[in-house]
Amino acid sequence: MLEVTNLVKTYKALRAVDSLSFTINPGEIVGLIGPNGAGKTTSLRCCAGILRPTSGQIKINGFDILTDQAKAKSGLAYVPEVPSLYELLTVDEHLKFVAMCYGTLDVYEERKDELLERYNLTEKRGELIATLSKGMRQKFSVACALVHRANVLLFDEPLIGIDPAGVAEIKQEFHNAKKNGASIVISTHLLDTAERLCDRILIVSRGRLLFEGTLEALRRRSQNQNATLEELFLQITEGDQGAPPPLA
Ligand code: ATP
């Protein structure tokens, strides 16, 4: 379970995330959507413990990401938009290294062959990470997220640059994780995918939460039962784009 309460993150005079609160329950896939610069990546990086919030609280499975970091992170997997990998490890070494960091070598032993096969990386397992293509790196970072026992999964634009077979595998992975009770957040600009995949939607703009709920609730609110998520998104964010507000 992921609980975010009154999250604020400022960069000098810029309020990139502005009092954001939401909860992601077990067994739920939630789409985090918003215009460029809305604060999605900043929010996910705060949730992953990479950025220190200016204020507010983030709990992963009940553990505070700042004061109980090890316990919080043991349940967390974060797949960034641009994977940050150790270039001079081989694919197999890297996967094993991640599992060692999380104390889950048993998961690595059990899943390594299946994961590499699933993401078409078997023939690359002895190659250096530095030799992987962009899409391969993206798929490999998803495999790394699955080699430990995380039940809070944060994905920042996970489907960009990945071939159709890889996209299908990753979507299936989301469904499997959901079935196993994981709390999953997917930040994406692919609104048709979000519409089909997500149980709930968070729409953010200029660091603020504009809407939280199901597509049905969004349709009811807009009094348009047949509208697509894209149409509703454009409606709700119209006139609310641009840079986040500076600090008062
Ligand atoms: P996109 O959809 O374009 O990826 P986003 O919703 O993920 O956007 P963020 O990357 O979180 O948006 O950025 C939110 C705001 O914070 C933007 O105005 C951005 O310019 C600013 N910002 C992000 N990182 C920094 C930084 N390190 N220093 C200063 N400002 C930053």
All domains of the chain in start order, with CATH: 1-75+150-248 (3.40.50.300), 83-149 (no CATH)
CA 181 – CA 63 distance, rounded (Å): 18
pLDDT tens, position by position, 104-149? 999 999 999 999 998 899 999 999 999 999 889 999 999 999 898 8
CA of 20 to the centre of ligand 1 (A): 15
**The pLDDT of residue 215 is above 70:** yes
Distances from the Cα of 5 to the Cα of 40, 103, 187, angstroms: 15, 29, 18
Residue 166 has what pLDDT?
86
The residues with which 212 forms a beta bridge, in sequence order, are 202
pLDDT tens, position by position, 48-61? 999 999 999 999 99
Distances from the Cα of 16 to the Cα of 19, 66, 139, 173, 223, angstroms: 10, 19, 29, 31, 31
Give the closest residue (by CA) to ligand 1 atom 23.
42
Give the closest residue (by CA) to ligand 1 atom 3.
36
Q: Kindly report whether the global pTM for this prediction surpasses the value 0.75.
A: yes
Total Cβ atoms within 10 A of residue 192: 11
Residue 246 has what pLDDT?
59
CA of 83 to the centre of ligand 1 (A): 17
Contact residues of ligand 1, CB 6 A cut-off: 11, 14, 16, 34, 36-42, 243-244
- Ligand 1 nearest-atom number relative to CA 38: 6
Least confident stretch, 63-67, 169-173, 182-186, 199-203:
169-173
CA of 109 to the centre of ligand 1 (A): 38
**Do 139 and 120 touch, CB atoms closer than 8 A?**
yes
> What is the average pLDDT value for the chain, to the nearest integer?
93
CA of 99 to the centre of ligand 1 (A): 30
- Give the residue-averaged pLDDT of 38-57: 97
